[in-house]
Structure 1
Amino acid sequence: MAADLVFYTHPMSRGRIVRWMLEETGATYKTEILDYATNMKTAPYRTINPMGKVPAIVHNGHIVTECAAICAYLADVFPDAGLAPETDDRAEYYRWLFFAAGPLEHAVTNNTLGFAPSAEQGRMAGYGSYDLTVDVLAQAVAATPYITGKRFTAADVYLGSQVIWGLQFGSLPAREAFKDYAERLTARDAYRRATAMDDALMPDT
């Protein structure tokens, strides 16, 4: 039943990552669209996510927030979709999923906000520097068709979304490795369905 899986989102948010992941799973789900200025900050939704942020899911009464966690969770609870490697073969999967959630997210955000750590600060920051993080990312996506090898996984949904958006908004350089990787991902049927759904929900300007 749709009510067993509820997806809280806004079309102009990281919820697009989770929408794509949901479409990859083939699961049936109900979508609740929240507004930044109103119901996203009210008490009822804060019982789901105290941060007052989207996305979030509630699955069989279990709340999951944070995009990387949601992607990993959905891959596990819908195993027939084949979006996670076998449990004894998840080293690269976890490595790059959480590289995207940690160093990559922080490096891109800080760079966009105009903060560049000094060499000394870089030793304290988990990502070191923006340039280093970008170089590591480029090497990783150029090495194999997908981030863990020849097989598409939930790690590609999360990390790949950051590459796609980085190219779209200029927060990542337009390197060939990034463009080739993004082209493979955006050709996926589930990505196209998810994008069309969220585009249809965009507020009128």
Structure 2
Amino acid sequence: MTESIITLFHHPHSRSAGVRVLLEALGAPYEVRFIDFKAGANRTPEFLALNPLGKLPTIRYRGTVVTEQVAIYIYLADLFPAAGLAPAFDDPRRGSYLRWIALYGASFEPAVVDRAMKRPDIDAATSAYGSYDAILQTLVEQLGRGDYLLGERFSAADVLWGSALRWTTSFGIVPELPAIRAYIERVGAHPAFARAAELDAGLIAGQGG
């Protein structure tokens, strides 16, 4: 039977937390399938058939499985254009929007993981992201140009970056610079963040903590 709503395979303490915020911001119809990491639910044959890497986020809609944060954010925001969280294909801001979503997955997250794991720096010429410092400087400079990554327009890119920066600053992986702190607060003020947090608190409580 064709699925009429999105299925989010989810654990609140994973990268799928931001996807739940996005779904709430989009007003999208969705259901949650809790993935219990402690019980190894992400390593079962059933889940690995959906995502062979055993990772979240993973979604399924109308028989199609989508994995990888960047793909999911682009896919969902384009799926619900009425929410206004993605510039249209002919909008001049579309290129910048895609750039910032792609930069997160291709450069920022690898740089942050390398820094968190205390891996030695490699030559910027051969690094996929150049250097951690360059990525951070690029981000801070962009945040100084407007309230959001696209200036005054809030988009799915801000849900992605706002969620990630809140998590990475809380663990001290990314410095809580004034521009970053102010951005986290602006993005986090969107009602979708509070709704998702409330729903996730209930989900965790229902699972016994």
The TM-score normalised by the length of structure 1 is 0.93
Helix, strand or coil at the partner of 1:95: helix
Picking from 118, 121, 136, the partner of 1:114 is 118
Equivalent-residue separation in structure 2 for 1:204 and 1:42 (angstroms): 21
Gaps of 5+ in 2: none
Residue 64 of structure 1, CA deviation: 0.6
SS in structure 2 opposite 1:6?
strand
Question: In structure 2, how many angstroms separate the alpha carbons of the residues matched to 1:117 and 1:101?
Answer: 19
| Aligned partner of residue 145 in structure 1, secondary structure | coil
Q: Please name the residue that 1:55 is paired with.
A: 57
> What are the Cα deviations for residues 25-64 of structure 1, in whole angstroms up to 9, with x where unaligned?
1011110001124221111111111111111110111111
Give the SS at the match of 2:125: helix
Q: Match of 1:6?
A: 7
| 8 Å Cα contact 1:2/1:30 also seen in 2 | no
Q: Write the letter of the residue equivalent to 1:10.
A: H
* 1:58-94, Cα deviation, whole Å (9 max, x unpaired): 0111111111211110111111111100212211101
- Say which structure is richer in helix: 1
> Match of 2:50, SS?
coil
CA-based RMSD: 1.6
Q: What letter is aligned with 1:32? A: R
2:42/2:54 contact within 8 Å kept: yes
Taking the aligned partners of 2:12 and 2:88, their CA distance within structure 1 comes to 32
Instruction: Give 2:45's aligned residue.
Output: 43
Structure 1 pair 42–3 and aligned structure 2 pair: CA distance change class (3 A): farther
Greater CA drift, 106-115 or 164-173: 164-173
State how many pairs are aligned. Answer: 203
The 5 Å alignment of 1:63-74 reads 63-74=65-76
1:116–1:130 Cα contact (<8 Å) kept: no
Is 1:17–1:67's contact at 8 Å kept on the other side of the alignment?
A: no
CA distance in 2, matches of 1:190, 1:19: 9
2:96 matched residue in structure 1: 92
Secondary structure, counterpart of 2:99 in structure 1: helix
8 Å contact kept, 2:21–2:193: yes
Q: Give how far 1:200 is off.
A: 2.9
Q: Once the 2 structures are TM-superposed, how far is the Cα of residue 116 of structure 1 from its aligned partner?
A: 3.0
Moved over 4 A (4+): none
Q: Percent identity?
A: 37
Secondary structure of the corresponding residue to residue 86 of structure 1: coil
